[in-house]
Structure 1
Amino acid sequence: MLKTYAVSLAAGVVAGLIYAVLDVTSPAPPIIALLGLLGMQIGEHLIPLFKRLIKRQPVNLHWFRHEYSHKIGDTPPSSGDKTS
């Protein structure tokens, strides 16, 4: 898990260095960029919810925990699959 954060941070630093070398500013102020990321996360999580609602399957706490707890909490899914 720490490796994923390190790679993400390194990619951000490289992007910042490229911006500095090209003498350009960030394409979006930080708060707008963070809101964009939040929107992406919300959109990504709405798709499984809508699919379940369309199939008329129940949306309950058990389903929510199974579907999202490993994505939100960065813990691996109960099946033992590792994402990193």
Structure 2
Amino acid sequence: MPPCQLKFIESSVEQRAVTKADLQQPFSSLREQIRQGDPSLREEIHALGTEIHKIRADLIKWSFGSWVTAVAALSGIMLALLRGAR
């Protein structure tokens, strides 16, 4: 491998290492802030989780209702076609 390619690869590896270190530092400080975070933030996160669960339950309910309606409609169509074929 030519020396210029080796230098390029080395500099690329160094840049990636620096970038990873730069990214990890803000995340670690953010995690620490969340751990120490004020109670209102924790309450908001808890309320958001509760709301997501409610929406999820509604989505399951409506999906089941749509499925039942589709099965009933298809059954009616099949019954009409079978009676018409006689």
Fold equivalence (TM over 0.5): no
- Give the structure-2-normalised TM-score: 0.32
| Max Rg structure | 2
Q: Which of structures 1 and 2 has the larger relative contact order (alpha carbons within 8 angstroms, sep 6+)?
A: 1
